[in-house]
Structure 1
Amino acid sequence: MSDSAPTTSERGIAARQRRMTTRTSVKLGENIAQGVITVGGLMVIVAVMGIMVFLFRVVMPLMAGGELQGNTRYQLDTQQDVIWINGDEFQTLGIAVAAEGRVITYHIPSGTEVARDQFDFRGAEVTAVAGTLQRDRVAFGFDDGVVRFATLGVQTTTTAQRALPGGLIDLDGRDRMLDGRVYTEVGTGDFRTLFGEIELGDGQQISELPIIAIDYRIGGTRERPTIAFATVDADNQVRVSQSRVQINMMTGAETVSTTTTDLPPLVGLAADAMVTGILLSGTGDRAIVASDDGVVYRYDLRDMDNPSLAEVRRVADDGVAVTAMTFLSGEETLVVGTEDGGLNAFFRLQTGTTDTTDGRELMRARTHAPMPASIVDLSEAQRQKEFVAIDAEGNVWVYHSTSDQVLFELARSGDVSTDSSGMIFPRSNGVMLVSQGGEVEAWQYTQRHPEVTLGVLFSKIWYEGYMEPTYVWQSTAGTDLAEPKYSLVPLVFGTFKAAFYAMIFAVPIALMAAIYTSEFVDKRVRGTVKPMMEMMESLPTVVLGFIAALVLAPLVEEWIGAVLLGFFALPMGLMIGAFAWQALPAQIALKYDGFPKFTLMGLSILITAWVAAQLGTSLERVLFYGDFKQWTTGRIGTGTPFMFLILLPVSYFVTAWAFRKQFGHHYRDLISGLGRSRAGMVDAGRWIVLLLVAMLLSFLVAYALTLIGYDPRGSFIDSYQQRNALVVGFIMAFAVIPNIYTLAEDALNSVPGHLRAASLACGATPWQTARWVILPTAASGVFSAVMMGMGRAVGETMIVVMAAGNTPIMEWNIFSGLRTLSANIAIELPEAVKDGTNYRVLFLAALTLFIMTFVINTGAELIRQRFRKRAFNL
C-alpha cells in the first residue's frame, strides 16, 4: 500500500496528543518556582542559624575568664615598714605611708617617686591603722592611746594643653610629671592631672593603753560630716567614738565635738586570747571584734546610751584564729579569713532568735575556696562584691563573693617572708600590694563579668538580706552597693506560668469551638463565624495589653466574685441552652437548625453571665466571708470554699463516670423509648441531679481537706494583686484562641467525608463521630494548632509587659504577677549599657527563649508525626 497524506481526523488526534505534553514554558516556570522555594527555605535556615550564632557571640563573653594585662614590681625607698597604701582609679598615682610617718607618692607603672612628705607622729609608734572604703581617709592608733586622722587621697583635675607647664619629666610613654603632679594626655587633647592630697589632723586621747585595733568611718553631710571610729586597747577594752564636725559657712572655721562610749566587755574571751581586728559599720549601728580564738563579738550600737554585746559567734574551729576580716561594699556581707586559710562570708539576718539581744544573728552564707596558708590581709573592692586575700605564703587571690569564684590566682614574685597589705583599684581592674619592706607589686587585669556564672544564672544563690538561697532577678537597685541578681529561673518560670494559664483558658474554648463549627453548625453559620474568629487574630497585642491593664484588671478586681462564678455559669449556660434545644419538638428543631440554634446558645450564655454578675457579691459574701482579697491573705476564713469550687468539675466528672458505669445501659434503654422532647427533659433532670451530687461530693472532700490541715492559700492561691496571672491568662487566651481555632478547624474539616458517613451509617451520633472518628484522625493537625498557640503564648511580650505587673517571682499563685523572658528583654534592654553584664544577660535570656521554643517545637513535631501515623492506620 502506498503512503498517503493524513486525514483531517488523524491530524486532529495528533494535535490533541501534542497538547497533552507539558510545554517548555511550564517546565521552566516549575523549575524556577522550585529553585526560588528551595533558595527561600535555605535562606530561612541560614537566617535562623545566623540569629543563633549572633546570640552566642554576644553571650559567650559572660562565660569567659579574666585576662591578665600586665604586672610590675619595684622597690620604694621607704626605709620603714609600710602600714597603709592607696591608689587612684586610673592606676597612675600611689601613696604609701610608713610606720614613722614617711609618706611617698609614686608613679604606679614605673615606681618613680613623685613626692615625699613627712607626718609628725610626735615620737609615738603606730600600733593600728584603718581607713574608709575609698582608702583616702585613714585613722592611726598609737601606743600612747592617741588616735589621729589623716587624708591620703589622690585628687584629679584637668589641665588644658595650652596651660601645660614646661619642663615636664617623662615617666613612661603615657605619663609626665612636675612638682608632685602627674599629667596624662586624654583623648580630647587635654591632660588629666593627678596629685596627692596629704594631710594629718590633730590627735584625740582615747585610752591610756596602746591601741591594738581600730576602724574608721565617715558619714553625715558636707556641712556637718560625722566621724565614727572604734578602738580596742591593750586591755581589750572596746570603745566607739563619734565626732561631729560643724563648719561655719561664713568663716570656714570647724568645731569638733567628740563623744566616746565604752562598750561592754568581751564576755568569754580567754585570758590569753588577743583581739585581731575590729570593724565598724558606716551607719554606726554595729561593731564586730575578732579574736585569735576563732570567735567574733557583735555589738549592737543603735542606742549609743545603752550599747550591748548582741552576739558571740564562733566562725572558726577551736584553736584557729581569725586573722583578717572586712565588710564588702554595702556592709551587708562580712568576710572572715582564718589561720588555716579559710574564707567565709556571713550575713547578719533577722531570724528572731532568742540567743542574741536583737533577734539577729550572723549566718554563714558562703564558704569560699580556701587559700594554702594563713590569711594575712583582706581588702574589699569599692564598687563590686569582690575582695583580694593575701596569705602567708605570698598567694594573692581575687574573689567575687556573690558568684563564689576565684577570679585570679596571683602570686608575689618578690620576697614573701614579709607581710604585705593589698588593695583592689577602684575600677576593680587591678591589684596592688606593698610589703612592709616597701616592695610594690601591681597587676592589671580585665574581668568584665565577674558576677555571672552558670550557677548564678540557673542555681539558687544566697543573696544579702535573704534568709536562704533562692532564685532572684534584680538587675538594678536603688544604690550601686546592692549586688545585682541575674537568675534566669524566675523569668523562665514566669514564661511557663503565663503560657500555662493562657492555655488553660484558650485550649478548651478554641478546640470546642472548632469542633462545634466543624461538625454541628450549619455551613452558613460556619461561613460567618470562622472569618470573624480569624479577624480577631489581627488585633494588635499592644491594644490587648492596654485593655487588660486599664480596663480588665480593675474590672476583675472589683467583680472577682462574679468572675469566679462565671467559670461555672458559662458552661452551665451552654448546657441549659443545649437541653432547651433538645426539649423542642423534632420538626421545630430540624426547621430552625442553624443560625437560630446558634443564637439560642449565645443568649443562654449571656443570660447566665448576667446572673453570675448579679450573684457575684452574694457569692463573695457567702463563700469568702465578704472580702475575697482579705480571704486570699489567710486572715479570715478557711480554704474550704475555694477548694469546693476547684473540686467541683472533678467531682462532676467522677459522678457522671460512676453513673455511666452503674446505670448507663439502663438509662439508654429508658430514654430510647421516649420522644425527643420528653427524653430531653429527662436528660436535663439527670444532669441537675448529677450536678447536685457533685456539689455535695466536692464540699465533703474540701471540708475533709480542711480538717486535715490543708489550705490552698499560700500555694497556688495567695494575696491578690491587681495585675496578675488571671488577667494575663484571660487576655492572652483571647489573643491565642483565633490561632488555635483556625488551625484546628481546618484540620477537622480536612478529614475525608467518607469517614463521617461511615460512622453515621453505623448508628453513631454526630458527637460520637466527632469524638471517636474525626478528632483522632485530625489529631496531628489539632496538636499542631495547640502547639502553635503555645508558641505564641511563650513568646508574647506586650500583653505581659502591660498586664502582668512585671514582678519576677516564683509562685503559682494565679492572683500574683509575673515576668517573662520576652517582657524582661523589652523592659530592660533599652536602658542596658552596650556590652555590659546586664546587656549580655538579656541576650542570654533571648537565647534561652530561642532554645526553649526550639525544644518545644521539636518535641511537638515528633508527637505530631506519631499522630499522623496513627491517622494513616484508620
Structure 2
Amino acid sequence: MDYRRGGTAERPTISFVTADAAGVLRLSRAESRMNIMTRQMRTTLASAELPPLPSGIEIKTLLLTDQADMVIVGTADGEVFRYDARDFNAPRLAEHVRVLPEGERLTGLYFLIGEQSLVAAGDRGSVDVLFRLGGGTAPDGLRLVRAHVLPRQPAATEALAASQRGKMFITADTGGAVWLRHSTSGQVLLRLDKPGGAERYAAVALTPRDDAILAIAADGRVAMWNIAVPHPETTFATIFGRVWYEGYDAPSWTWQSSAGTDQFEPKLSLVPLIFGTVKATVYALLFAVPVALLAAIYTSEFLHRRVRAVVKPAMEMMASLPSVVLGFVAALILAPLVEEIVPAVLFALIFLPLAFIAAAHLWQLLPRAVMLRHAGLSKLGLIFVCLAAATWAAGLLGRPFEALVFGGDVKAWLNGDIPGAVGFTAFLLLPVSALLIVVTAAGPAGDALDRLTGTGSRLRVAIGALARWLLLSGAALALAVALASLLTAIGFDPRGGLVGTYVQRNTLIVGFAMGFAVIPIIYTISEDALNSVPEHLRSASLACGATAWQTATRIILPTAASGVFAAVMIGMGRAVGETMIVVMAAGNTPIIDWNIFNGLRALSANIAVELPEAVRDGTLFRMLFLAALTLFAMTFVVNTLAEVIRLRFRRRAAAL
C-alpha cells in the first residue's frame, strides 16, 4: 500500500491505494469535515476499484502522488502500470511501459521530491531515473521517459530513500553497499561499505538536512554516517554541458537558480550566460565599429583642423556618460519608441548609409569654389542636416517598407502568422550582394566602366560616378532579390534564427545603447592611430594621383591597422564587461537564441542581479564567482589573441 495526506486544516484528507493477495487494486479516500458550530469532525470514506491488471502479474510496489491523481504499480518483471485517477470515481489505465532492460526484475520504485522523477531499481544493480513528461498519447497527456541511466551497483538494489531537500537519494544493495547518488548530475557522491558482520540493509534513510545517512541491517543493527555534500548538483558536465532536467523534453543548457517552491531543481548552466555575453557584444560591435571607424577616418583625413579640434573632444566626452544613464534611457525611452516604429528602424539601417552616399555624390556636383568655401564647419553642419532629413524620410517610408517586406504587419510576420520571406531575406542579403558587386566592379568590367565615366570635365566625372553608383546599387538590389528568391524556394526562412518573436527589451536595443557606450572609445583610439601615420606616406600617395579616399583606405588605414585593431579590442572588452545597460535593457532572459528581437542575460548582468540574493558559501554564491572567473578568462583570452595579432600588424607596418 501507499498513502498521502492532503487537504486543509478544516478539511483534511487521507488517500491510500492498496493491493490485496488476489491482485485487486483499490483507491480510497477519507475526507474529514469540521462542523463550524460544534467543532466536531465528521469523516467520510470513499473507495473505487482500479481496472484489473493482467493475470499472473506479481505486484512489487505501489506509489500514489500527493494529489492522489495518479497511481503507479510496479511489477516484479520490470513493468509499470500507470493509472489516471483524476476522476476518483472512474480511474483508468493510462500507460503500460517497461522501465528496466528485458530479463531484469524490479526491486523498487521511489519518487524523488516533487514527484516528477521516478527511480527504478533492478536485481542486477541497475538504477534508472524516469521523468513524467507531457506529449503522451495517454488520456492525461503524460508519458514516462527514461531520462538518466545511473552507474550500476555491484549487487541487486533493494532499499531506496530520497532526500527531502533535493535530488539526492540512497540505494542499498544485497551485498551491503550503500551509495549516495544525485539524479540530475548522475554522479555517485559516496560509496559506503557494510560494517563487519552485517549481511544486508533492510532500510535506509537520509536525515532532513542531508547531513547523515541511517541504515538498518537485516539483523537489527543500525549504522549511521555523518556526511557533508554541499554542492551535489555541480559538475563540469552540468555547468557547461547539456543536462536533462525535470519537466524538459530533452537535455538543454538552462540557467534558473531559484523558484517559488522547495521542490524546485536548480539549473546552473553557464552556457546561456556565456552565449548572452557573446551575443550582446557581437550586435553592439556590429553597430559601433562601422560608425566609429568611419567617423575616425573622416575626422582624421577629411575634416578641417579647426573643426577637428572641436569634434574630437566632444566625442571623447561621450565616453564619460554613465552606463546606468544609457541603460535607463534605453529601457524606458528607446525600447518603447523602437517597438512602435520597428519597420522604420530596420529601413533606416540601409537607407541612412545610402542617403549619405547619395549626398556625397551630389556634393561633388557643386562648383569647386563653393566646395572649398564650405569645406569646414558648414560641411559638417550639412552632414547633420542630411542625417536629420534621412531619418525623417526613413520614418515616412517605414510603412511602405513594412507592407513590401513584412506583408503589412512586422510583428505578425515575425510570429509566423504571415507567410513569405523573400523580402526580408533580400534585406539581409543586400550588404553581401553589394560587396559582391563591388568586388566584381573592381575587375576588367570596372576598368571599362572607369574609362567610360572617369574622363572629361570635373562635372562629367561627378555625373558619371553618380550614374555608376546608381547602376551598381540597382545591380546589388537585383542580386539580393534573386538570391533571396532562390533561398526561399529551397526552404530557407530567417524566422527562428536571426529574427523571431518581438520582445520590447531585446538585443537590438542593447546593441544601440551599448554601441553608444563603445563608439567613443573605438573612435578616439582609432583617430589617434590614423593621425600617427607618418605624413610622408600620405603626401606620397596624393602625389602619385590617388584620391583622398584612396589614400585613407589603402595607405593610412593599413598602416595604422595595429592601433585600429587595438581600438576595436578595447571596445570589445568594454562591451563584454558592460553590466547596467544589459541589466536594464536586455530583459534578463537566459536563453540561447540569435534572434535580435529577443532578450538575453550576460555574465556580468547575472552577477549583478543574483549576488544580493545568494546565500554566502552556497551553491549559487559559488556559481556566481565561477561566472566572474569565466568572464575574466574570456576577456583574458580575447585580449591575448588581440595583442598577438596587433604585434603582427605593427611589425608589418614598422618597415614603412
Bin of the TM-score, shorter chain as denominator length = over 0.9
In 2, Cα distance between the equivalents of 1:219 and 1:774? 78
Aligned to 1:446, what secondary structure does the other structure show? Answer: coil
3-state SS in 1 of match to 2:169: strand
User: Given the alignment, which residue of 257, 261, 267 partners 1:479?
Assistant: 261
Letter of the 1:530 partner, please give it: K
Please give the alpha-carbon distance, in whole angstroms, between the structure 1 residues aligned to 2:381 and 2:476. Answer: 30
| Alignment partner, residue 818 of structure 1 | 600
CA deviation profile, 1:582-633 (whole Å, cap 9, x unmatched): 1111222122212222222222222111011111122212321221111111
Aligned to 1:233: 20
Alignment of 1:395-544 (within 5 A): 395-544=177-326
Q: For the pair shown, which has the larger CA radius of gyration, 1 or 2?
A: 1
CA distance in 2, matches of 1:459, 1:230: 40
Q: How far did residue 414 of structure 1 move?
A: 4.6
Output the CA distance in 1 between the equivalents of 2:484 and 2:493. Answer: 9
Deviation at 1:306, TM superposition (A): 2.6
Match of 1:858 in 2: 640
Q: What residue in structure 1 maps to residue 504 of structure 2?
A: 722
Alignment partner, residue 155 of structure 2? 373
2:460 to 671, 675, 678: 678
Query: Are the counterparts in 2 of residues 583 and 679 from structure 1 also a CA contact under 8 Å?
Result: no
1:316 aligns with 2:100: yes
Residue number in structure 2 paired with 1:754: 536
The equivalences for 1:322-361 within 5 A come to: 322-352=106-136, 354=137, 356-361=138-143
Amino acid of the structure 2 residue aligned with 1:873:
A
1:345 offset after TM fit, Å? 0.4
Alignment check: 8 A CA contact 2:454 2:465 kept:
no
Flag the structure with higher helix content.
Answer: 2
Contact kept in structure 1, 2:505 and 2:585, CA below 8 Å: yes
**Counterpart position of 1:44:** none
Q: 2:69 aligns with which of 282, 285, 306?
A: 285
User: What is the CA-CA distance between 1:530 and the residue it aligns to?
Assistant: 0.6
How much does 1:767 deviate? 1.2
Q: Is the 8 A contact 2:201 2:215 kept in 1?
A: no
**Contact 1:392 1:416 survives alignment (8 Å):** no
Question: Are 2:449 and 1:667 equivalent residues in the alignment?
Answer: yes
Corresponding residue number in structure 2 for 1:558: 340
Matched, 1:224 2:11: yes
In the alignment, which of 47, 70, 79 is matched to residue 260 of structure 1?
47
User: Does the aligned pair in 2 maintain the 1:393–1:416 contact within 8 Å?
Assistant: no
**Conserved 8 A contact 1:300-1:309:** yes
Q: After the TM superposition, which of the residue ranges 677-686 and 855-864 deviates more from structure 2?
A: 677-686
Cα displacement (A) at 1:264: 1.0
Q: How far does residue 319 in structure 1 lie from its aligned partner after superposition?
A: 2.6
Task: Report what 2:80 is aligned to.
Answer: 296
Per-residue deviation, residues 196-221 of structure 1 (Å, max 9, x unmatched): xxxxxxxxxxxxxxxxxx11111111
CA contact (8 A) 1:473 1:808 kept: yes
User: What does residue 215 of structure 1 align with?
Assistant: 2
Task: Give the conservation status (yes or no) of the 8 Å contact 1:569–1:608.
Answer: yes
Q: State the SS of the aligned residue for 1:723.
A: coil
Equivalent of 1:274, from 58, 74, 87? 58
**Is the Cα contact below 8 Å between 1:326 and 1:378 reproduced in 2?**
yes
Q: State which of 342, 358, 380 in structure 2 corresponds to 1:576.
A: 358
CA distance in 2, matches of 1:709, 1:360: 33
Amino acid at match of 1:282: D
- Given that residues 404 and 423 in structure 2 are in contact (C-alpha distance below 8 angstroms), is that contact kept between their aligned partners in structure 1? no
Q: CA deviation at 1:662?
A: 3.8
Structure 1 residues 510 and 418, CA, compared in 2 at 3 Å: closer, same or farther? Answer: closer
- Deviation of the 1:359 alpha carbon: 3.5
Query: What TM-score, normalized by structure 2, do the two folds share?
Result: 0.98
The separation in 1 between residues aligned to 2:126 and 2:455, in whole angstroms, is 87
**Take 1:749 and 1:258, find their aligned partners in 2: how far apart are those partners?**
91
Kept in 1, the 8 Å contact 2:454–2:464? The answer is no
| Residue segments in structure 2 that go unaligned for 5+ positions in a row | none
Aligned residues between the structures = 656
Under a length normalisation based on structure 1, what TM-score does the superposition of the two structures give? 0.74
- Give SS of 1:609's match: helix
Of 383-392 and 311-320, the range deviating more from structure 2: 311-320
Q: Separation in 2 of the partners of 1:791 and 1:318? A: 56
Alpha-carbon distance between aligned partners in 1 of 2:24 and 2:304, rounded to the nearest angstrom = 95
State the partner residue of 1:73: none
Residue range with higher mean Cα deviation, 790-799 or 255-264: 255-264
Alignment partners' CA distance in 1, 2:387 and 2:468:
21
Residue 730 of structure 1 aligns with an amino acid whose one-letter code is: F
Cα distance between partner residues in 2 of 1:248 and 1:688: 89
Range that drifts further, 246-255 or 289-298:
246-255
Asked if 2 retains the 8 angstrom alpha-carbon contact of 1:578 and 1:601, the reply is no
Local SS of the residue matching 1:722 = coil
8 Å CA contact 2:199–2:217 kept in 1: the answer is: no
Distance across 2 between alignment mates of 1:384 and 1:249: 39
Helix, strand or coil at the partner of 2:171: strand
- Aligned-partner residue type, residue 643 of structure 2: E
Q: 1:258 offset after TM fit, Å? A: 1.6
**Letter of the aligned partner of 2:50 in structure 1?**
L
Which amino acid in the other structure matches residue 408 of structure 1?
L
User: Are residue 777 (structure 1) and residue 559 (structure 2) matched?
Assistant: yes
Measure the CA separation in 2 of the matches of 1:574 and 1:792.
29
1:623 aligns with 2:416: no
Deviations 1:221-274 (A, max 9, x none): 12211211111111222221122122345544221112111111224x6x2x41
Question: Sequence identity of aligned pairs in percent?
Answer: 51
1:791-806 superposed matches below 5 A:
791-806=573-588
Question: Secondary structure at the residue paired with 1:834?
Answer: coil
Larger displacement relative to structure 2 (408-417 or 321-330)? 408-417
Code of the aligned partner of 2:6: G
Structure 2 CA distance, aligned partners of 1:717 and 1:285? 42
Structure with a larger share of its residues in strand = 1
Unaligned runs of 5+ in 1: 1-213
Equivalent residue for 2:483, pick from 697, 701, 706: 701
- The aligned amino acid for 1:513 is A
Let me know the Cα RMSD of the aligned residues. 1.4
Q: Which is further off, 356-365 or 749-758? A: 356-365
- Cα deviation per residue 1:290-345 (whole Å; 9 max; x = unaligned)? 11111111111122233221111111122311111111001100010111110000
Name the CA distance, whole Å, in 2 between partners of 1:656 and 1:390.
Answer: 72
Distance in 2 between residues matched to 1:304 and 1:706, nearest whole Å = 53
Whether the 8 Å CA contact 1:577–1:600 is kept in 2: the answer is no
> CA separation in 1, counterparts of 2:101 and 2:404?
61
Q: Which secondary structure state, in structure 1, belongs to the residue aligned with residue 233 of structure 2?
A: coil
The aligned residue for residue 370 of structure 2 is: 588
- Which structure 1 residue ranges, 4+ long, deviate > 6 Å from structure 2? none
**Residue in structure 2 matched with residue 14 of structure 1 by the alignment:** none
SS at match of 1:324: strand
Rounded to whole Å, the distance in 1 between the matches of 2:464 and 2:22 is 97
